[in-house]
């Protein structure tokens, strides 16, 4: 067990722990001291599994949002700092199940190499006549689809419900609240159908906690699992 300066981190089984919850729930460690990043309340944690984005891509997506905002369309925009590529939404998870999730993620990650993806092109769900979600596509190879399927199946083995809809790799820009200004919005988006917003070198996947607040969701990484070698950061 090795201490990492300035991180309150501990290594065990190739996992680095940053929080009291992670130390006690994932590694089963009893740690003394005060930790303010995550406090155990006994309440379920709202969690999802995702690929985190490099700052270059976040900046490019923020610039796109600023251009789209000029249409004054009625859209609730996603904060660029909170953007990520969701692989599996888990919903509310009891703290005692976090260790099982991390172990399953670790097993899956050992079987997959690093990925090279590109944020390229834009689209809407469900269609341009009735847009509800604005997004940027994520292009890559079949390895991403295989990784997502493995995660879906792995979480299903733990009792999480499988997603019926096919996986579409995308980054959400915003959610349409009304059709005000949608015509101009779609017109501007169509200008970016083939635009590239940067490359994403994927070396890990993360288990993330989402706290819903009036100012928007606040995200906390609970675990980071490295592709190709197992283990990771918690």
How many other CB atoms sit within 10 Å of the CB of residue 19? Answer: 24
Q: Tell me the pairing of strands 232-233 and 84-93.
A: unpaired
Q: Contact, 46 vs 89, CB < 8 A?
A: no
- The catalytic site residues sit at 84, 170
What's the CA gap between 120 and 169, in Å, rounded? 11
Query: What are the φ/ψ torsions at residue 133 (nearest 5 degrees)?
Result: -130, 130
80-103: b (≥16 Cβ within 10 Å) or e: beebbbbbbebeebebebbbebbb
Question: Rg for the chain (alpha carbons), in Å?
Answer: 19
Beta-bridged to residue 196, according to DSSP, are 120
């Amino acid at each position: 067990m090795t201490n990492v300066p300035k991180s309150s981190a501990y290594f065990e089984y190739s996992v680095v722990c940053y929080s009291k919850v992670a130390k006690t729930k994932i590694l089963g460690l009893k740690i003394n001291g005060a930790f303010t990043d995550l406090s155990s309340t006994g309440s379920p944690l709202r969690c999802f599994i995702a690929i985190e984005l490099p700052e270059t891509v976040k900046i490019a997506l923020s610039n796109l949002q600023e251009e789209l905002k000029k249409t004054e369309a009625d859209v609730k925009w996603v904060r660029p700092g909170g953007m990520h590529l969701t692989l599996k939404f888990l919903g509310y998870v009891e703290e005692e199940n976090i260790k099982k999730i991390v172990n399953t993620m670790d097993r899956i990650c050992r079987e997959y190499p690093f990925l090279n993806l590109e944020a390229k092109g834009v689209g809407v769900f469900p269609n341009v006549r009735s847009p509800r979600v604005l997004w940027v596509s994520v292009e890559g190879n079949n390895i991403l689809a295989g990784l997502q399927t493995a995660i879906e199946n792995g979480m299903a083995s733990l009792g999480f419900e499988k997603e019926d809809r096919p996986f579409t790799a995308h980054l959400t820009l915003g959610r349409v609240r009304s059709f005000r200004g949608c015509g101009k919005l779609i017109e501007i988006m169509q200008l970016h159908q083939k635009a590239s917003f940067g490359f994403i070198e994927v070396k890990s996947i993360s288990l993330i906690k989402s706290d819903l607040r009036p100012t928007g969701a606040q995200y906390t990484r609970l675990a980071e699992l490295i592709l190709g070698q197992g283990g990771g950061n918690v």
